[in-house]
Copies of this chain bind each other. A is one copy, B any other.
């Protein structure tokens, strides 16, 4: 086993972006990704932002980026590490579907290194159904548990909890959705080689398409009414709140001069807010709200 080089990791991330875009175009059937190539000033790398506005995927982004630069004092402080030059590369995805019964999904895989000696991987997948379906949440979590188990039997439990804690709107006391996995700074301290961690991250990335394809295909042609669209837009409002108020990646990007349009591709086409809205007792919407909680065991708990 050889340790993967930065170039190899970048190349694999690019290939993952290509593969996922091809898969999503097939899923949508009509829409095609439009690509913006962008570069940072002063030779600091750049990215490929790809946006789809399709027949069934209302607004979706699949971004690849690789940026590098000198380690600023601010970055040193945030990372609590000294260094001279850093590289950050990754793929990130958010999809907002048309049909309210198809969930919003987010996936991100990323790699960071500083002076080659300090490095780590991060990433995750989480699902935000407008309407929670326990069987679908269980399918997601089983898939992620499998992807984790191949590298470390403890990863799923740890990273599932991490996602519950991370994708949380404390001002609403709601999780963003049914969670998934989230992990960061998987590096030297792990009992796994760099190659093993790279395989793990790529396995997570490659699990995205089969997971989403199934959830999409089960629901994209379900009939819906105006009230479902209202609820979808209302839940999208929560998605906006999470991303702008709590998501560390989004805030870090906006505060440090990242490419705004690439960062905010995660926002939905339309979102709604309604003062103090409460769904009807025993409604489908109330069922969803009642399950936006941390700590639900989706695989074994069988919540009703």
Contact = CB atoms under 8 A, between A and B. Distances in A.
A271 B261 CA distance: 16
Given A240-B244, A244-B241, A254-B245, A268 B273 contact: yes
Interface residues of A, number: 33
Contacts of A51: 275-276
A269 B273 CA distance: 5
Contact of A61 (B240, B265, B269, B275): B275
A53 B272 CA distance: 14
A269 B237 CA distance: 10
Contacts of A244: 240-241, 244-245
A72 interface: no
A287 B9 CA distance: 45
A274 B61 CA distance: 11
A150 interface: no
Contacts of A260: 171-172
Name the prevailing secondary structure of the A interface residues.
mixed
Contact of A264 (B53, B267, B270, B273): B273
A271 B269 CA distance: 8
A48 interface: no
Interface string A103-147: 000000000000000000000000000000000000000000000
A297 to B, nearest CB: 28
A276 B254 contact: no
Nearest 5 A/B pairs, CB to CB: A244-B244, A171-B254, A267-B273, A51-B275, A171-B260
20 contacts: A36-B276, A51-B276, A53-B275, A59-B275, A61-B275, A170-B254, A171-B254, A171-B255, A171-B260, A171-B263, A237-B267, A244-B245, A245-B251, A261-B275, A267-B273, A269-B273, A270-B271, A271-B271, A271-B272, A271-B273
